[in-house]
């Protein structure tokens, strides 16, 4: 977001990011809050906002809730996020309380600064770390603001999976069922299925493209790492069930031969991995519409774990919503 905003008049001249990218579908932008964690050594957090040193040129800039919304209004995304005070998911104590309470105060400033609520949906973000009481308090406060949707943030940062799913569940139990519930930063296949069962509707994650950099492809039977020697003479598609441009054009052997030498291998696997996740989400949606979601979950998990050595956290999470694995 920063590099686009710093180009003077760039998005105004292009009439927003949709035109700049020639993308006719929906766009979601984040607020910059995550950089409080990822660039903590470059940031100072106060009630006013976040003071950053630019990772590009070292210059100082202040990102306030109002400025974050101002930037996102200019970008023109369909869904924009409040600026929240983000801490690592494993942080405990007073800092978690401070971040949760500040997130609520900053939401009100974001709502007041939002210039285009008729065409850009502003989502608040549930924070509270791994503290169930704080999560509940935050969610209860956020739903008092009549926003078009809600996000669950501050998770998938190294915490135990048992803690992870419980914080998701606490949040979805409170957030309105008739509005989108967006779980931020979650992208593992199993997590998408389990958290959809817990009531989440939307996700984002760098995982499909990040793991592609290491030669890894996502399948409904798990992951395969095409850098391994066993794929050197495997002339089958990356995934025989996939119709993306990578799988219909290139073999596992070809991608193996370039996986550690040419960046195009990352691009090809990124295309497949994103296509895989879109197929997965389509299957989740279709099974819900057709009233067979529990059966889909059972089939999916059996494909991932054919010996039925299911992770205990998944069993516990799915059992909490009445889904028993076979």
40: DSSP letter: G
DSSP H or E run through 205 = none
Report yes or no: 50 and 62 within 8 Å, Cβ to Cβ: yes
DSSP-assigned letters across all residues of 95-113: HHHHHHHHHHHHHHHHHHH
Distance CA 83, CA 69 (A): 8
Q: Is 259 helix (H, G, I), strand (E, B) or coil?
A: coil
Report yes or no: 215 and 232 within 8 Å, Cβ to Cβ: no
Is-catalytic flag, 30?
yes
Sequence-distant (6+) residues with CB within 8 A of 226 are: 215, 216, 217, 238, 252, 255, 256, 259, 265, 269
Distances (CA, A) of 212 to 44, 86, 258: 33, 27, 13
Q: Which two three-digit tokens encode residue 48? A: 């006013």
Distance CA 61, CA 54 (A): 7
Q: To which residue do tokens 């919503």 refer?
A: 321
DSSP H or E run through 114 = none
Task: Report the DSSP beta bridge partners of residue 229.
Answer: none
Is-catalytic flag, 84?
no
Q: Which two three-digit tokens encode residue 13? A: 């001249």
Of the residues 78, 85, 163, 204, only one is catalytic, namely 204
Q: Is 43 helix (H, G, I), strand (E, B) or coil?
A: strand
Residues labelled as active-site residues = 30, 204
């Amino acid at each position: 977001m920063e590099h686009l905003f710093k180009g003077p008049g760039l998005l105004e001249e292009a009439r927003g990011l949709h035109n700049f990218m020639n993308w006719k579908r929906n766009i979601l932008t984040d607020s910059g809050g995550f950089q409080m964690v990822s660039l903590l050594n470059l940031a100072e957090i106060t009630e006013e906002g976040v003071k950053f040193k630019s990772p590009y040129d070292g210059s100082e800039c202040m990102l306030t809730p109002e400025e974050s919304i101002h930037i996102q209004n200019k970008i023109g995304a369909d869904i924009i996020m409040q600026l929240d005070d983000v801490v690592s998911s494993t942080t405990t104590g007073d800092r978690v309380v401070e971040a949760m309470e500040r997130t609520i105060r900053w939401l009100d400033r974001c709502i007041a600064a939002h210039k285009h609520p008729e065409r850009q949906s502003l989502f608040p973000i549930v924070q509270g770390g791994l503290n169930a009481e704080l999560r509940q308090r935050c969610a209860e406060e956020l739903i008092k603001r009549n926003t078009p949707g809600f996000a669950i943030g501050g998770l998938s940062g190294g915490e135990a999976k048992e803690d992870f799913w419980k914080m998701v569940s606490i949040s979805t139990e409170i957030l309105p069922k008739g509005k989108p519930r967006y779980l931020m930063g979650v992208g593992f296949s199993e997590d998408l299925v389990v958290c959809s069962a817990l009531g989440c509707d939307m996700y984002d994650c760098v995982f499909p493209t990040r793991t592609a950099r290491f030669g890894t492809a996502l399948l409904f039977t798990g992951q395969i790492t095409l850098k391994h020697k066993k794929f050197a003479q495997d002339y089958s598609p990356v995934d025989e069930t996939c119709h993306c441009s990578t799988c219909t054009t290139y073999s596992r052997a070809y991608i193996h031969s370039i996986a550690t030498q040419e960046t195009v291998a990352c691009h090809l696997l990124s295309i497949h991995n994103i296509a895989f996740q879109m197929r997965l989400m389509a299957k989740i949606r279709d099974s819900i519409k057709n009233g067979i979601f529990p059966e889909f979950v059972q089939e999916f998990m059996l494909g991932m774990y054919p010996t039925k050595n299911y992770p205990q956290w998944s069993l516990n999470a799915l059992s909490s919503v009445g889904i028993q694995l076979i």
